[in-house]
A and B are shown apart, each in its own frame.
Chain A
Amino acid sequence: MAETTLKVKKTTASGAETSTSLSFLDGVPIPESAKARVKRDVGDYLVEQILIAANGADTLVSGESMPKLSKGYLKKKLAEGLPGVPNLESAGDLLDSLEYKTTDDGIDLGWFSKAEAPKADGHANFSGDSTLPRRRIIPGKGQSFDSGTNEEIQKIIGDAVADNLDIKEQDLDGVETKADLYSVLGEFLDGLSRAEIKAVVARTPGLVRLLDDLDLFNLL
């Protein structure tokens, strides 16, 4: 299975939209219905994890940080009963409005309303016009997410590819030895070592079921 990469294709800062366009399904050999599921899984996963990071005054964007609040703003937030950390929460509207839209090969991630997009660009500064300290929680051009987040996205895509392998019972006819089994699985999982094939099978319930039904699980 070819390694896929998550790329920022472009960013938008239009006043009605502050977003980053992420591509991660170009050339991935799965049906459109599976791609649609992957886009939703990656989109929801990123929103969930970005909000967890922001709550801890952190960002998942590699190389970015969340500068401390100015003394004046810190005082204001504390007076309002808010945590005194740069978590991008004041009224809460900005983080409530972080969302994604699916595209041909990935998602557009960001803010898509006139009320929130300018505020979001104030923090992300995709326009280059902001004078605020930069607190960027979605990646800009040439940037990516941290390694843990990227790895999880790769796993979501890899699991979808494995779930959609078209291995049928008759493909495994005549398999009697470990060598036979890895020969067949290797045809579907081109270029993977035996250890990698085992790892793919272990994470793929459909393959486990097929091999178990045929009493071949113990040959792995």
Chain B
Amino acid sequence: MAKVKVTARFQILEFLDTFIDGATAESIGRAVVEESKKLIATGQSPVRGFGRLERYKDRKSYPGKLKNATPVNLNLLGDMLDGLTFKRKGSDIIRIGMLGGSAKVKEIAGYHQDGTPNMAARRFVPNADGEEWAVSIMRKIRDLYGGRLAKLIRQSNKKG
């Protein structure tokens, strides 16, 4: 079985890394995963510019007639989306992607991410040059940066 990696390495803005603590970095990772799943559940790619996920060719071929025709939400048994998660490395690096789940689930995730000759790409992690998260996700990240900075300003004011 091919080794499949579907992850994005996300670095806190370099000059902000002295301001961002581990708890904030965790919050950013959690928010990105939650918002990604919210978009996927409604048939949208969490990668900006990819829009709605392409329709299944033959949903009846899936086991147990478990697939809705729409929205295309990458959800059959839930194990692939359960594997979409994050890990923090220090306070300024967050890895987001298929970090959980079995090797088989990761393999299928790889097919969705990049597509195959028989399967449309349904991108769910930005991992190519120039790709970014959807606007709704980027807005959450900015809110979390801003919240952390506002807290530091308040703390500084109390000390002063």
Contacts and interface: CB of A to CB of B under 8 A. Distances in A.
Interface string B16-49: 1011000000000000000000110111100010
B41 A203 contact: no
Contact of B70 (A48, A89, A205): A89
Contact of A203 (B15, B55, B142): B142
A90 interface: yes
B134 A44 contact: yes
B67 A203 contact: no
A173 interface: no
B41 A55 contact: yes
Interface in A21-79: 41, 44-45, 48-49, 51-52, 54-55
Interface in A66-109: 80-83, 89-92, 95-96
B43 A81 contact: no
Contact of A48 (B19, B39, B67, B71): B39
A217 B134 contact: no
B13 interface: yes
Given A49-B136, A81-B65, A82-B68, A205 B15 contact: yes
A91 B135 CA distance: 26
A83 B69 CA distance: 9
Task: Name the interface size band of chain B.
Answer: 35 or more
Task: Name the interface size band of chain A.
Answer: 35 or more
B112 interface: no
A95 to B, nearest CB: 7
Given A52-B42, A82-B70, A205 B13 contact: yes
Contacts of B16: 205, 208-209
Contact of B44 (A51, A80, A83, A155): A51
Contact of A95 (B13, B41, B52, B69): B52
Given A44-B134, A51-B43, A82 B69 contact: yes
Contacts of B139: 45, 152, 155-156
Interface of B: 13, 15-16, 18-19, 38-39, 41-44, 48, 51-52, 55, 59, 65, 67-72, 134-136, 139, 142, 145-147, 149-150, 153, 156-157, 160
10 contacts: A45-B136, A48-B136, A55-B71, A81-B67, A82-B69, A89-B70, A92-B55, A92-B69, A95-B52, A198-B150
